[in-house]
Amino acid sequence: MHARSGGQTPGAASPGDADHSVSPPQAGPQYETQPETQYKRVFEPDEIRRALTRIAHEILERTNGAGDILLLGIPTRGAPLAQRLATRAGEFEGRAIPWGSLDVTMYRDDLRLRPARALGKTELPPEGIDGRTVVIVDDVLYSGRTVRAALDALTDLGRPRAVQLAVLVDRGHRELPIRADYVGKNLPTSQREQVRVLLSEIDGEDAVLLGQGPESPESPGRTGALA
Amino acid sequence: MNRHLIAAADLSRDEALLILDTAEELARVSDRPIKKLPTLRGRTVVNLFFEDSTRTRISFEAAAKRLSADVINFSAKGSSVAKGESLKDTALTLEAMGADAVVIRHMAAGAPHRLAGWIQGHVVNAGDGMHEHPTQALLDAFTIRRRLRGTPSGGLDGLRVTLVGDVLHSRVARSNIALLNTLGAEVTVVAPPTLLPLAVDGWPCEVSYDLDAVLPKTDVIMMLRVQQERMNAAYFPSVREYSRRYGLDVARMAALPEHAIVMHPGPMNRGVEIAAEVADSSRSTIVEQVANGVSVRMAVLYLLLGGTDE
């Protein structure tokens, strides 16, 4: 049921978790609280801005002007990315592009591996998702399990005309047959490494960090109070 | 804390807020075309009810089913309990059937606590004697927060909540006083002296015998049911007199501040503790409380059963 790809140490950070294992916003950037892990910046604020601008153009191009699209970000960091993409695409087209957020926690396949976790926000525009082209937006694409959960969650919310996927960073190591339609940066990594995306809305600055340290202890957010 | 939900008094402020915030997200599931989440697929929840209940049992059943858990309903009537089987033997039977969680209502205070010592699964108290009914307090707090706080987040700091009526026999009152206090509300209980417990002085609340004096300083008024079935002595001279002094009628409702809401845990005795016009008014949250109960119980079941068992 929770089979994983081989080669992983039991108890290590599993790819499915790593995408969203970040704590809720706290004082100071995330990486300061984990001194044992050395991070280096692989993506500067200007590069993030340019990548999002390019993705916004690509979305408009691929969807013929984005007449029926809806951008849905996966909390925590997918949501501000969806908003930025919607704002940018809206500026190019001169009209508002709808966006929202889609929490996938209740659809994850690794819930039983960790204490119960707090839920993120799901906010859909009032017109819903039926018949629209939904672009799922996330910060890091890794195992693909989060996206799998998002596809299941969408099924329960309605019937989109098509679903596409936009990510800021694709770090490889897929465990499911899933690929992104729009990628900000392909970042070759080993499974021992950690990728952290910082966004100014949540972390106070924009950056993508690559951790070279020992295998990560999970940084549990606000979880497990009752478990 | 622990793996069970036995008492509202056990919850820290953070734990209570986690339940309320989780319920806030899960409440949206009720507005969707598909009112179901796959989260507890393959898990079994047993509703073990030794006492009559309509809304609590149905509410737990709906909550478990919306999370895709399998539900087994057990009521003492018509079961081996009627033949004299003990609570422990009943519990072990349920354990052998693979219950991941047991929701228990029992006439004896402490029954859920005993049960938690006997079985591996999680225990949720759905009302034990005159002790506690924690999910009722959680859904009441959830309802208050939704109605009186602009954004439904954070605690209930500074809100003035008045509980009126049969505090002595009421597990709802005990759970509510504990939880409301944890969440920062100021609680006042109003009741005839005969319907207050002896130890009420030690509770984290004010005590008053004069409802009319308290009304203007109340944001939330919670009317408790007159529990005829637990009353084996004369606690007040007549129902009519009780209703005159402690019932919430239209005139008293008018004395409340304009924003104040009227709550009742149900089932209501219309015309005794609450007038029909009040129960049906727009200030009454009684129907909302039932809907919110499902969301809050979903949150409790998810937080107990949704993660790892270690």
Residue position matching structure tokens 């009628």 = B249
Determine, yes or no, domain membership for A175. Answer: yes
The sign of the CA dihedral B164, B168, B170, B175 is positive
- Domain B134-285 sits in which CATH superfamily? Aspartate/ornithine carbamoyltransferase (3.40.50.1370)
| B26, B33, B307: residue with CB nearest A111 | B307
Nearest CA to CA, how far is A57 from chain B (Å)? Answer: 33
Selecting among B105, B131, B160, B297, the annotated active-site residue is B105
Q: How many CB atoms lie within 10 A of CB A90?
A: 17
Determine, yes or no, domain membership for A126. Answer: yes
Nearest CA to CA, how far is A121 from chain B (Å)? Answer: 7
The backbone torsions φ and ψ at residue A46, rounded to the nearest 5 degrees and listed phi first, read -65, -40
B307·A122 Cβ contact <8 A: no
The backbone torsions φ and ψ at residue B223, rounded to the nearest 5 degrees and listed phi first, read -90, 125
Determine, yes or no, domain membership for A176. Answer: yes
For residue A164, give the CATH number of its domain.
3.40.50.2020
State the ipTM, two decimals.
0.87
A121·B37 Cβ contact <8 A: no
Is residue B224 classed as helix, strand or coil in its secondary structure?
coil
Averaged pLDDT of chain B? 93
B18·A226 Cβ contact <8 A: yes
Instruction: Identify any residues that bridge with B160 across adjacent strands, giving them in sequence order.
Output: B186
pLDDT band at A15 (very low <50, low <70, confident <90, very high): very low
Q: Reply yes or no on whether the pLDDT at A166 is more than 90.
A: yes
Determine, yes or no, domain membership for A31. Answer: no
| B25, B32, B302: residue with CB nearest A116 | B302
Radius of gyration of chain A (CA): 17
| B26, B34, B305: residue with CB nearest A156 | B34
Token pair recorded at residue A35:
């001194």
pLDDT at res. B109: 96
- Check for a shared fold between B8-133+290-305 and B134-285: yes
Does residue B169 have an active-site annotation?
A: no
**Burial bucket for residue A26 (CB in 10 Å: 0-12, 13-18, 19+):** exposed
Determine, yes or no, domain membership for A225. Answer: no
Radius of gyration of chain B (CA): 19
Q: Which of B3, B6, B20, B25 is the best residue to mutate to test the A interface, defined by the most A CB atoms within 10 Å of its own CB?
A: B25
Determine, yes or no, domain membership for A174. Answer: yes
Q: What is the count of structural domains for chain A?
A: 1
Q: How many CB pairs under 8 A join A and B?
A: 74
Task: List the CATH code of the domain at B8-133+290-305.
Answer: 3.40.50.1370
Q: In this predicted model, what pLDDT tens digit does every residue of A42-65 receive, in sequence order?
A: 999 999 999 999 999 999 999 988
In sequence order, what are the residues at sequence separation of 6 or more whose Cβ sits closer than 8 angstroms to the Cβ of residue B287? none
Maximal CA-CA distance, chain B: 56
Q: In this predicted model, what pLDDT tens digit does every residue of A126-146 receive, in sequence order?
A: 989 999 999 999 999 999 999
Does residue B307 sit at the A interface (CB-CB below 8 Å)? Answer: yes
C-alpha to C-alpha distance for A198 and A30, rounded to whole angstroms: 8
B39·A111 Cβ contact <8 A: yes
Q: Where are the domains of chain B?
A: 8-133+290-305, 134-285
Average pLDDT of the segment spanning B195-201: 93
| A120, A152, A227: residue with CB nearest B303 | A227
pLDDT at res. B156: 96
Q: Reply yes or no on whether the pLDDT at A36 is more than 80.
A: no
pLDDT at res. A102: 97
Q: Which of B43, B302, B309, B310 is the best residue to mutate to test the A interface, defined by the most A CB atoms within 10 Å of its own CB?
A: B302
Q: In this predicted model, what pLDDT tens digit does every residue of B237-281 receive, in sequence order?
A: 888 899 999 999 999 999 999 999 999 998 999 999 999 999 999
Lowest mean pLDDT among A13-22, B25-34, B68-77: A13-22
Residues of B in contact with A223 (CB under 8 A): 307
Q: What is the pTM of this model?
A: 0.88
Determine, yes or no, domain membership for A196. Answer: no
What b/e sequence results for B124-150 when a residue is b if at least 16 CB atoms lie within 10 Å of its CB, and e otherwise? bbbbbbbbbbbbbbbbbbbbbbbbeee
The backbone torsions φ and ψ at residue B261, rounded to the nearest 5 degrees and listed phi first, read -115, 155
Q: Which of B17, B37, B40, B67 is the best residue to mutate to test the A interface, defined by the most A CB atoms within 10 Å of its own CB?
A: B37
Domain of residue A65: give its range.
46-110+117-189
